[in-house]
Amino acid sequence: MMFPIMDIRTRIVFGWGSFQEIGGLIPIGRSFVVMGSPSPRQEALLERLSSDIGGDIEVFKGVEPNPLTDTVDRGADEMARYHPDQVIAVGGGSVMDAAKAMALVAHSGGSVLDHLRGTRPIEGMGLPLYTIPTTPGTSSEITPFSVITTREDRTKLGLRDPSLYPTRAIIDPSLTVSLPPDQTAATGFDILSHAFESYWARRSTPVTKRFSLEAVSLVRENLKGAFMDGSVRIYREGLSLASVFAGMAFSNTGTTICHALSYPVTYDTGLPHGFACALSLPGACELMAERDPEVIRSLSHAFGCSMGSLPDEIRSMIRSFGIDPRLRHGSVDGGMERVMGPEVAPFRDNLCVSLSEEDVRGLYSSMFIE
């Protein structure tokens, strides 16, 4: 039997302390650097970049969590005026997503909304993109996706195209040591959601499934330790590696219904993306146990529990990080209608079993207190 080719276009440099070798990993040139909110940590990284790479540097600071279309368009305008040779993204997944979208718009013109809504074709970023993640979780540093938040649609919309793969990712787990416990937990659940969803995705293959299961095991083994003491190297390395494996899986398979359900939750409640995705995982596991038990058998083994206990084990894990595994009714405005919109149909349709509208409503309801 033949399977689709495993597509991994980003060159990955992985290792504790690899950022110290940055001068040999990114060429000298005019660099447009994209970063999040200013902080002493970010300034230290920027100083090291400037001294080790050389060349002219223009810095765009202030990418917010769940980057907005306005931010992307503003950054694209600055990038186009600067005429860089390359783009460097330093930060979390939001920074990576914003940098990809900025480069795309700077190259193609228009607004990022044109691309998000499909009214303007994706013509690539036009520039090499180097990514330096300071958090695990989204895996955006190695994937061809960019997710941007729109005020107009009150949700997140995504870009997906092979041309959005970064050129090289420098993944140094030591850069994640300063990540606070709550953000560590949220990123861990983002990895877990990517791993589960890529495993039961319609486009999964035996190769991607191996990556998915390895990511599940690594999160189970390392997340609690990183949450309790983020300075321990083995935990940070484990989570960063889990993020790589999950990213290699879902960059080929895409995500599914749990991500679709998470977008209105994050927009309306402010709940971090990883936790918002995880809220529907137990319900999705219950549905999959009925429709495709072998999928849940494999995932529960990787999670270290029995098939029947997997949904409750996930809820218990969420609760152990101080998050209620169910939302209060009324906290999300018109969420079901937004989930059933055409923009998120690719997520719904990518599950390896067919979903009726009743199934989606059941999964949506499973996230709320009964």
Question: Do 89 and 70 have their domain in common?
Answer: yes
Looking at the DSSP bridge assignments, the partners of residue 89 are 34, 131
What domain count does the chain have? 2
Question: Do 19 and 125 have their domain in common?
Answer: yes
Contact predicate 177/169, CB 8 Å: no
Structural domain for 78, as ranges: 11-175
Question: Do 145 and 207 have their domain in common?
Answer: no
Question: Do 105 and 164 have their domain in common?
Answer: yes
| Angle, CA of 222, 223 and 227, to the nearest 5° | 120
Question: Do 222 and 332 have their domain in common?
Answer: yes
Final residue of a domain: which of 175, 194, 211?
A: 175
Question: Do 275 and 210 have their domain in common?
Answer: yes
- Residues in the chain, how many? 370
Place of tokens 């783009």: 87
Question: Do 34 and 162 have their domain in common?
Answer: yes
Note the pLDDT tens digit of each residue in 159-217: 999 999 999 999 999 999 999 999 999 999 999 999 999 999 999 999 999 999 999 99
Task: Enumerate helices (H) and strands (E) in the chain, giving the number of each.
Answer: 15, 8
Average pLDDT for runs of 10 along the chain of length 370? 78 98 96 96 95 96 96 98 98 98 96 94 94 97 96 85 97 97 98 98 96 98 98 98 98 95 91 96 97 98 98 97 92 84 84 94 91
Give me 342's structure tokens: 């055409």
Secondary structure of residue 92 in the 3-state scheme: coil
Question: Do 194 and 252 have their domain in common?
Answer: yes
Q: Would 1 be classed as within a structural domain?
A: no
Note the pLDDT tens digit of each residue in 31-77: 999 999 999 999 999 999 999 999 999 999 999 999 999 999 999 99
Please state, in angstroms and as integers, the Cα–Cα distance from residue 19 to each residue in 12, 58, 131, 272, following that order. 12, 20, 11, 27
d(CA 165, CA 70): 23
Contact predicate 215/195, CB 8 Å: yes
Q: Would 354 be classed as within a structural domain?
A: yes
CATH code of the domain covering residue 226: 1.20.1090.10
Final residue of a domain: which of 175, 201, 232?
A: 175
Question: Do 143 and 223 have their domain in common?
Answer: no
Question: Do 171 and 185 have their domain in common?
Answer: no
List the end-to-end C-alpha distance of the chain, in Å, as a whole number. Answer: 45
